[in-house]
Amino acid sequence: MDEPIGAYPPALQAPGTRGVPFHRLLPVDDLGSGAMRRVSLGDLDVLIARTPNGIFAVDDRCPHMSAPLSLGELDGCVVACPLHSGTFDLCSGEPVTMPTTGGLDPDGTHHPSWSPAGSAPKEDPPGIKSEARRMTRVRRFRYYPVRAVDGWIEVALPQVEP
């Protein structure tokens, strides 16, 4: 049976992955529906997720501050970061909920730090840390091409040494 492969926006394909060889990473049967798995090759950590829209492969790094998304939760196509509670859509590459620390979204719009409903906005004391939080931009995912062949998930990766 063919496994559906997630369709992602072509402009979000990871640099260096066009025309490169596919690497056999994981048996399809080892990744249940709604599951995520981290696969490491050298210093490259890849998140493979099986969503209702197919299998996706992205860096196993939050597009906010690089926390491992494989430690988060997957709900449909939306993966939640375990560090600052940002949520990101694996089907589109876009943030769904900005991280609690605020910052810039992919288009450059600033979002303040999160405050509970009914509370005064969180004050961020001036200084280099505040400036860093204000200037941290949430990125869109970059996708690695995926295919399923003979019961294996294969991913096109830029020059990695397993």
CA atoms within 13 A on the CB side of 77: 18
pLDDT at 155: 97
Separation between Cα atoms, residue 115 and residue 123, nearest integer Å: 9
pLDDT at 159: 74
pLDDT at 87: 96
Q: Which of 3, 51, 46, 59 is nearest to 27 (CA)?
A: 3
What is the full per-residue pLDDT of the chain (162 aa) written as tens digits?
467 899 999 999 999 999 999 999 999 999 999 999 999 998 899 999 999 999 999 999 999 989 999 999 999 999 999 999 999 999 999 999 999 888 999 999 998 888 777 777 777 778 888 888 788 899 999 999 999 999 999 999 987 665
CA 18 vs CA 92, 147, 153, 159: distances in Å:
19, 14, 18, 11
pLDDT at 82: 95
- Stated pTM of the model: 0.89
8 A C-beta contact, residue 102 and residue 30: no
